[in-house]
Structure 1
Amino acid sequence: MTNPQVYARGFASLTAHTVDPLLNLVRKSRAPRLLDLGCGTGVVTAAALALGADVTAVDSDLDMLEYTARAHPHAAVRLAALPELPFPEGGFDAVAGNFVIQHAPDTPATLAELHRVLRPGGTLALSWWKRDEMPATTLLADAAASVGLPKVPDPPRDFDRYTSPAAFTALLKRSGFSGGAVDTIRWRHRVDLATWWDDVTAAAGPRFAFILEQDAATVERIRQAYLALAAPYAEQGFPVCAHLAHATR
C-alpha cells in the first residue's frame, strides 16, 4: 500500500494537471452521477464535487480510500479492484479514471465493465502516462544505473498493447463505445527537486522500492546522481506527456 500523505504531496500534484480536461465531458453533459475510478487521494473527486456531481470514488487501496473518505465526506467511497465493479448496470452518467487504466490487469475486460456501469449516452474519460516522456520518474532509474545498480525494466503490463492512441481508440470501439478519441496533453511540472526525490522514492511503490532497499551510503549516491540529472529541469520544470481518451456509451 502507498502512504496517502506522501502520495498527495508528490504524485497527486502531478496527476492534478489532467483533472480539468478529464472532467470536460462531465461539464458538457451535466452528468450528476460520476464514478471516480482509482480515486487515490481524491483529486478528481474534489473537482467533481465542486461541479455539483454525485460522486462515487473507488480504489483497491484501503489507505487511499480512508484518506479520500476523510477528505471528502460527501462522496460515496467503495473498495473495488478492476476489472470488476460492485455496481448495477447503467448506474453512472460518467466515469473518470485519472492514471488508473494502465494498472488494470485486463484492459478489454475493464472497458467492458465500464461500458456496463455507464448508462446509454454516458461519458467515459481516462488518462495514462506516455512513459517514454516522463523524466520526472525515469531519471530515478537512470540515477540508480549511474552508480552501478542494474537498471530495473518497467514491469510488463496488459495495457502495453493499447498504450498508443490508435490502439486504444480501436479498443474503445470494440468495447461498444462510440465517438472514441485520444488527445495528447503536455505540460511542465515545476517542483523542488529534493522534495520530489523524497516523495517519489517513498510513494512510487515496487517500481522504485529497490532504491530505498540499498544501504544509506548508496541511497545518498543515487540521490546526488538524480539531483544532478534533474538539474536542467529545476527552473522550467519536468516535461510531462499524457494521453486522455474520451468516448460515449
Structure 2
Amino acid sequence: MTAFDTSERRAWAAQADAYARSFGKLCAYPVPRLLDAAGIEAGTRVLDVGTGTGTAAAAACGRGARVAAVDAEPSMVAVATRNAPTADVRLAVLPELPFADDAFDAVIGNFVLNHVGQPRSALKELRRVTRPGGRMALTVWAAPAAAGQTLLGRAVQAAGVGRPAHLPALAPGDDFSRDEQGFAALLAGAGLQDAGCETLVWEHRTTPEEWWGGPAAGIATIGQIVRSQPPEVIEAIKAHFEAMCAEFTDRDGVLVLPHTALMAHGRA
C-alpha cells in the first residue's frame, strides 16, 4: 500500500453519510452512461468496484444484473448494502479482489481510480476478474478541471492555504494524463481491447450550504485540507467560498456548477 492509499483510507474513514449528503449526488451523474458502456442488462454478472454508497450497484440491480460490489471503506459498505440489498457487497481494497479469474461479464468503477495509489495495478486486477470478451467502463475527473470543480480549491487558495505535507499526491510514476487519450491509453496498457474514452460534461445543481458541507465534514482531499486548518483559517476559506458562489448562483439561489469527467471503456 502506498502513502497515497494510506492517506485515502484515513480521509474516507466513517464518511459515508457525509459523502451522501454532499458530493454523492454529483458523482451519481455518470452512472447510467457507465452501465450502458459496460453493456449491463438482465443477467449480466457485474462487479462495481469502489461502490461508495452503492448508487451504481443499485442501478445495475435495477436492470436485472447479478451484482457484486466492493469498497475499501466499511461505512460505505454498510450504506451500499442498504441501498443495493440484492447485491453481494463486500469490503475489499484494490489491487486485491476476493474473486476468481474471469468471474464477471462486466466491471464498472465510478471515480474509483481517483482514489488508488497504483492505477495500473488496479486495472490489471480488474482485467483479471473480467472474462474474455467482457467489458469494463470507468470514470475519473478530467484535468484541467471544469470551473465548478475548482470553486472550493479557489477558495482555499484565496485564503493562502496550500496542500499540507501529510496529504501525499499520487507518485509521478503512477499517474497518467487525465484526458481522453491518456485514459484510453491506460486501459489499453492493461490489456483491454478497443479501448476508448469520451468526455462527460454536465451542470451540477446544489446549494452553497450543501456544497460547503463536503469540505466542512472533511470529505475528499479538499475536505482534508480544510479540516487541517485552525478555526480562523477555516472561516476565511468559507468567506471566500461564499463570495465566489455568486459566479455560479442563478436567480433562484441555486448553485450551478459545471463539471467534466472522463469515461473510458474497453473489452477484455
Q: Give me the TM-score of the superposition, normalised by structure 1.
A: 0.91
More helix by share: 1
Candidates 43, 47, 70, aligned match of 1:58:
70
User: Contact (CA 8 Å) 1:23, 1:96: kept in 2 or not?
Assistant: yes
Q: 1:83 to 1:178 in 2, by over 3 A?
A: same
**Tell me, what secondary structure is at the counterpart of 2:144?**
helix
Deviation string, structure 1 residues 27-46 (Cα, Å, up to 9, x no partner): 46656110001000011011
- Give the whole-Å Cα distance in 2 for the aligned partners of 1:41 and 1:244: 20
Q: Label 1:194 to 1:37 Cα distance change in 2 as closer, same or farther (>3 A).
A: same
Question: What CA RMSD, in Å, does the superposition of the two structures yield over aligned residues?
Answer: 2.2
Partner of residue 241, structure 1? 260
Unaligned 5+ segments in structure 1 are none
* Within-5 A mapping of 1:79-158: 79-150=91-162, 155-158=168-171
> Which whole-Å CA distance do the structure 2 matches of 1:174 and 1:64 have between them?
30
Cα displacement string for residues 75-131 of structure 1 (whole angstroms, at most 9, x for unaligned residues): 101111111111001100100000011222222222211111011111100000014
User: How many aligned positions are there?
Assistant: 249
Distance 1:201 1:121 in 2: 44
Given residue 239 of structure 1, which amino acid in structure 2 is its aligned partner?
P
Change (3 A) 1:105 1:218: closer
Query: 174, 183, 188: which one pairs with 2:203?
Result: 188
How far residue 173 of structure 1 moved from its aligned partner, in angstroms, is: 2.2
Classify 1:87/1:137 alpha carbon distance in 2 versus 1 (closer, same or farther; 3 Å): same
Bigger shift: residues 154-163 or 78-87: 154-163
Q: Is the 8 A contact 1:95 1:114 kept in 2?
A: yes
Q: Give the percent of matched residue pairs that are identical in Structure 1 and Structure 2.
A: 35
Distance of aligned partners of 1:28 and 1:142 in 2 relative to their CA distance in 1, 3 Å threshold: closer
Report SS of the residue matched to 1:23: helix
Alpha-carbon distance, 1:204 to partner: 2.0
